[in-house]
Amino acid sequence: MTHFLATAALSAALVASKATADNYFIAAEAPDYNNNAVGKLLENVDSLRAPGQAYAVFDWSSTSMFGDLSYTTAYYQVDSLSIRFAPEDFATIFSLGYNSSSGDACFINGTNSVIGQDLNGTDVTLAAALNSTAADYKVLYDAYIAPTFNLTNGSSASVSLEETKETAEFANFRAKLGFLLNSIEVQDGGDWYSDCAMTIAMSILPRLFVGMTEDEMISVVRSSLRWNMAEGLEDLTFNSTGDLTVQGWYTKGMRLFNGQETTMRALRATGVEVYIISASPQIVVEEAANIFGLGNMVPGDHVYGVRFKNDDAGLFTAELQDDYPITWGPGKETIVTTLLKPKYNGSAPIFGSGDSDGDCEMLSTVRDGVVDTINRLQSNATCINSYYQKACGFFNTTDPSTNNTYLLQGQDEVIGTWITSGFTTKDGVTYKSGVTDFDGCKAYQFLDSI
């Protein structure tokens, strides 16, 4: 009886304490300051938006997880030779519609445009890189890719993937393709916002999927996600030999930010719909959400990624869909203003999170809520750095022009996790805010040891 009364008294005390305590939101590895700000937003959703009118917008790559979906998937495809298109189509696929007589701000001389230098400092044209890489690809296609994926009649692979990867052709293909992909992506004519630059950037890496069915793409993406989650976080370089000596670059390894998952779940629990607006292909982002257990929170119709056409046979083409914005930079804002705001009776998002210049316009649409910027130490010449500065300049207050609280979330880039600071470390030793004003954003340091 005494035990029962003691238990009852304790239960009553706990109930009383819960009734008077603040509702406290805790996202893993986030600073208490950030958690308090998000918790306050969650408590006040009903006073900020009418029922059913609250929603949040997130970027995916390097925002919801550490690592870039498109880049890591591309490396997985190359490393595993998970490619389908025929060798004779290689140059057409990766020339992006340019030829020797066509040109624009991105490729002034068409395929005769210089896209980089070889290891000796000699200029390399797009045409030269295409031809040399295609020759290595044909050897790999005939020996391994075509028979392995039943792309030719009656043939079977006589060599394994591991044996194939020991060949000079594989080593050269990997290096040359890395050089080609990255060199093409930065041919922007000095303007990342030009039509040709955005089209190239959004479609160059997905061209590795050309010729695949949707099921084949999903299978590759799923395998890539699982493989990259188990791999170390690493930037890789490879050098080719022979007729074209260049260096190719890739990145591998990904980690899910537990803090972002917690935030998404908390937002949904308080009636805030969660949307992903990503510059990665739609099908890749959808599968990432599914494999990380977020599919019920972010269903397919809540994902806005880059969308492509299929041909009449249902095979992927890497051609962008018509009448749909490129979901990078201004296109992300277009998604909010033309598709989401009308759905929510003109209401702006009350939460936004991003990490790069491609997210600035999306973050600018948030009102009356929280903007949480992932600190990747981008330079003060970037627009995303202005959001670092907002977090520092409006520390402990809101921006009167937007009524937003601006947060800065630091990370440890060595292990791919958030840390309890707005500062970020790239080496596990030196921590920086990326901001020179506001005493280096010292208020956001939090960690005594940095």
Q: Is 330 exposed, middle or buried (0-12, 13-18, 19+ CB in 10 A)?
A: middle
Across the range 291-317, mean pLDDT stands at 91
Across the range 385-404, mean pLDDT stands at 98
Across the range 134-158, mean pLDDT stands at 89
Q: Which fold has domain 2-67+257-444?
A: Rossmann fold (3.40.50)
Helical (H) or strand (E) element with 331: helix 330-334
Q: Is 404 exposed, middle or buried (0-12, 13-18, 19+ CB in 10 A)?
A: buried
CATH class for the region spanning 69-252: mainly alpha
Residue 6 confidence (pLDDT): 38
Q: Is 126 exposed, middle or buried (0-12, 13-18, 19+ CB in 10 A)?
A: buried
Residue 190 confidence (pLDDT): 66
Across the range 46-71, mean pLDDT stands at 97
Helical (H) or strand (E) element with 277: strand 273-281
Indicate if 69-252 has the same CATH topology as 2-67+257-444. no
Pick from 357, 348, 349, 303: nearest CA to 330:
357
Across the range 366-389, mean pLDDT stands at 98
Residue 291 confidence (pLDDT): 85
Q: How far apart are CA 100 and CA 88, in angstroms?
A: 18
Residue 2 confidence (pLDDT): 41
Distances (CA, A) of 424 to 105, 261, 371, 389, 393: 36, 20, 18, 15, 18
Query: Contact, 258 vs 411, CB < 8 A?
Result: no
Q: Which two tokens stand for residue 141?
A: 């296609």
Q: What is the pLDDT of residues 334-346, one digit of tens each?
A: 999 999 999 999 9
Residue 188 confidence (pLDDT): 64
Across the range 219-224, mean pLDDT stands at 97
Query: Strand, coil or helix: what is 171?
Result: helix
Residue 155 confidence (pLDDT): 66
Q: How far apart are CA 233 and CA 97, in angstroms?
A: 34
Task: Give the whole-number percent of the chain exceeding pLDDT 70.
Answer: 92
Q: Which residue has the tokens 């598709």?
A: 339
Task: Give the whole-number percent of the chain exceeding pLDDT 90.
Answer: 85
Q: Is 17 exposed, middle or buried (0-12, 13-18, 19+ CB in 10 A)?
A: exposed
Residue 154 confidence (pLDDT): 63
* Domain extents in the chain: 2-67+257-444, 69-252
Say what the pTM is: 0.92
Residue 14 confidence (pLDDT): 28
Sorted by sequence, the CB contacts under 8 Å of residue 140 that are 6+ apart come out as: 81, 164, 167, 169, 170, 173
Q: What is the pLDDT of residues 123-132, one digit of tens each?
A: 999 999 999 9
Q: What is the pLDDT of residues 246-265, one digit of tens each?
A: 999 999 999 999 999 999 99
What does the mean pLDDT of the chain come to? 92
- The helix, strand and coil proportions of the chain, stated in percent and rounded to the nearest 5, come to 45, 15, 40
Sorted by sequence, the CB contacts under 8 Å of residue 407 that are 6+ apart come out as: 33, 34, 37, 38, 370, 371, 372, 373, 391, 422
Other residues' Cβ atoms within 10 Å of the Cβ of residue 130 = 22
More confident residue, 288 or 156: 288
Residue 1 confidence (pLDDT): 44
Residue 24 confidence (pLDDT): 66
Pick from 330, 337, 377: nearest CA to 355:
377
More confident residue, 58 or 14: 58
